[in-house]
Amino acid sequence: MRLSCVRVPQDAIAQLSCFRADFYDSLTGRADALFELTDALLCADGPVKTLVGLALEPEHRRGHGALYGGLNRGRIEFARLRRVLSSVPLPRTGDGRLVLAVDVSPWLRPDAVTSDARSFCHTYGRGENKHLMIPGWPCSWIVALETGRSSWTAPLDAVRLRPGDDLAAVTAAQVRDLVERLIAAGQWHVGDPLIWIVLDAGYDVMRLAWLLSDLPVELLGRLRSDRVMRRPAPSREEYYRAHPRGGHPPRHGSEFIFKDARTWGAPDSETKTVTTRYGTAHAQGWDRLHPELQQRSAWRDHPGSLPIIEGTVIRLQVDHLPSGGDPKPLWLWWSQPTATGAETDLAWQAFLRRFDIEHFFRMIKQTLGWTAPKLRDPEAADNWTWLIITAYTQLRLARTLAIDLRRPWERPVPSNRLTPARVRRGFRHLRAKIPTPAGVPKPSRPGPGRPLGSKNRHPAERYDVGLLLVTGELHRRPTHHKTGTKPRRTG
């Protein structure tokens, strides 16, 4: 068995070749078909609109049947591929810190009644910019962020969320596995700056901080503007001096109401920074604030008293937005209990870099065609997702090797500022210089198929969209075409 070579520092062309070899070794079933499908994805002219169209690319030397057979029956050793991705060079901040962004992006399948494991996905911008719940396959992504304005990220992991999954529990397990892989790959050592995990408002950042408290990570997440936090409880000496008649000391201090400035008090840190896109950014930080947890929802079965999870609350106010919208204040919670003014600036600047993951989602959806295939099996969708990840990683490794094949109406940019789409334009010329481990296809003839005029006697099962009931049980009822029944929702 060939040893992995991406851990050895080499030049860019050798590093890309080694990654492709390690990727091929991770394919344990229909390896040649899956590998050539990835090459066709990288070398196709223009955005990927249909999956079968990739079979016409010169890099895909097999027929369209092998293309679908590779996705439906191919096998990928995901654990090994995850280890390979954790070993490639990753972007870091100026002090050598890793910043990871976590977010969920849906693969919408509203009409795929024969596809299993669909959930209701939250979407925005459809139907007069309304919030809609559309059936599909939600996927949790983790990417490493770069410093400065960039459309590049480093995708490290993707997990398809199943109906009824607890988002916080799945995210905690996903982050834990990734951090352990990064430590095993030598990406983090004792004494290095802690890894930052950046999340948006849809996550319970306090609960995640509690679940991941034993890892070398710090969590930074956005909060809604209607939250209420608590200050630390006074010590026994302070309480008895204020209440000489005695009584039970409280577990929580006074309230910190986001919408009521009278409850804020003087901030523990305050800075003003002049930016080119937002004007003056005014940041204020309050130390050791925590939520008052209740014995319900995710904390219902917590043994003993509920924990007190302290962190730093940051309020960021800017002069204007690049889009011209109303600059509303941004509230952040950082799992570090206390922070200086310089640390507060680093925190909100790292959070603004989180929006680079939106460029990644746009790239894989609109250009690489992540959501273009109409696959039925969720396992085939997982295979396609990891092919997308490996294709994007190859573009990132070829970032310094590509030539700018710009259109006549496009502006020239420096070689170190090429976008992923521009790097993809020249990948076909670069691929000719890289060895291809896939074997030559053997001559074959298509099968006879179903006899002409015969009917399908094995109709596909139909599935309801998964719903999580109060009891915590997932109900679904398969129906068949031959019964003439329609899918019914349970609950």
Report the chain's mean pLDDT, rounded to a whole number.
Answer: 88
What does the pLDDT look like over 388-412, one tens digit per residue?
Answer: 999 999 999 999 888 888 888 988 8
Residue 491 has pLDDT above 60, yes or no: no
Strand, coil or helix: 468 = strand
In the chain, the amino acid numbered 218 is E
Look at 94 and 242; give whichever has higher pLDDT. Answer: 94
CA dist., res. 100 & res. 105, Å (int)? 16
Look at 324 and 216; give whichever has higher pLDDT. Answer: 216
What does the pLDDT look like over 14-25, one tens digit per residue?
Answer: 999 999 999 999
Residue 468 has pLDDT above 50, yes or no: no
Question: How sure is the predictor about 382, in pLDDT bands with cuts at 50, 70 and 90?
Answer: very high
Range 271-294 average pLDDT: 94
Residue 237's pLDDT is 72
Question: How sure is the predictor about 170, in pLDDT bands with cuts at 50, 70 and 90?
Answer: very high
What does the pLDDT look like over 120-148, one tens digit per residue?
Answer: 888 876 656 677 889 999 999 999 999 88
Beta bridge partners of 99: 196
pTM of structure: 0.89
Residue 8 has pLDDT above 50, yes or no: no
Residue 442's pLDDT is 85
Residue 474's pLDDT is 41
* Angle (CA) 133 382 4, round 5°: 140
First CA to last CA distance, the chain: 51
Look at 28 and 457; give whichever has higher pLDDT. Answer: 28
Residue-by-residue DSSP string for 236-279:
HHHHHHH-TT--PPPSS--EEETT-GGGT-S-SEEEEEEETTTE
Q: How many helices (H) and strands (E) does the chain have?
A: 12, 16
Cα–Cα nearest to 199, from 139, 249, 142, 118: 142
**Cβ atoms of residues 361 and 105 within 8 Å:** yes
Cα distances from 66 to residues 110, 146, 329, in angstroms, run 27, 37, 53
**Cβ atoms of residues 308 and 290 within 8 Å:** yes
CA dist., res. 337 & res. 196, Å (int)? 14
CA-based torsion, 288, 291, 293, 298: positive or negative: negative
Q: Which ranges constitute the DSSP H helices of 143-292?
A: 167-184, 205-211, 236-242
